[in-house]
Amino acid sequence: MCGDGPAGLAPVEFAGGVLDPFRHVCAFVNGREEGNRILDPFVLDGVALGDTLMYFVDPAERASQVSHLRHLGLDTPNLLQRGQFIIHTWQETYLSKGHFDQESTIEIIDALLGDSSGSRIRLITDMSWASAAPDVGRLVLEYEAQAGAALPKYPHISICVYDITKFSADVLIDVLRTHPMALIGGMLQVNPFYVPAAEFLAELHSRNPPAPHA
């Protein structure tokens, strides 16, 4: 996500770096424990600054995500009640039609981010659902490129978390190319391999054309 941060809000620090002006990040982690270790300071800073936490999670992990934030010392019932902590499952977002649909997903995210009541959102999405999706190498990459093109109109931060144990190296390399910022080995960096959405989609379609509609 590119562009200046919202007026009056502090720059966003994450994993030793600053996310302004780029706020669309792929975070490659090796398992949940490493992911929590990297994300926890980002989450706590967000609450302290009055930002809204938003998660997209596996339905089976919803309760454990709430429990984890409580373990960090956060008053999760209060945060939930006042809308500073929002949690959605994959079935409410990526898989709302019973399968992954790019246009529907982008519309849902657009609606969620557009209805933020002026609060900056720290969106953390667990992308593990995609490891079991049919044609993951094309559909998810198309989605990431399109989402990356749509997100800059918002001041929010989007962290797409990929567990490297669940995806092939080829998919992860292309995921890297759709994000202007990357977290690799616990270190945040401006991504020198980032490719603008239109260019990436043209390349992707040339080597792997979309299936024709029936």
* Whether residue 174 has pLDDT greater than 60: yes
C-beta of residue 179 within 8 angstroms of C-beta of residue 16: no
- In the chain, % of residues over pLDDT 70: 87
- Greater confidence (170 vs 116) lies with 170
What is the Cα–Cα distance from 197 to 177, expressed in whole angstroms? 9
Q: Where are the domains of the chain?
A: 17-120+136-184+197-207
Query: Which positions ≥6 away from 69 have C-beta within 8 Å?
Result: 43, 53, 76, 79, 85
* Yes or no: domain 17-120+136-184+197-207 corresponds to CATH 3.40.50.300: yes
Over residues 8-24, mean pLDDT:
77
Helix (H, G, I), strand (E, B) or coil at 120: coil
| Of 55, 52, 50, 80, the residue nearest 65 (C-alpha) | 55
pLDDT at 134: 64
The pair of structure tokens assigned to 128 is 């593990």
What is the Cα–Cα distance from 16 to 38, expressed in whole angstroms? 10
Over residues 126-136, mean pLDDT:
81
Span 34-45, pLDDT tens digits: 999 999 999 999
C-beta of residue 150 within 8 angstroms of C-beta of residue 12: no
Span 40-75, pLDDT tens digits: 999 999 999 999 999 999 999 999 999 999 999 999
pLDDT at 161: 96
The size of the chain, in residues, is 214
pLDDT at 4: 40
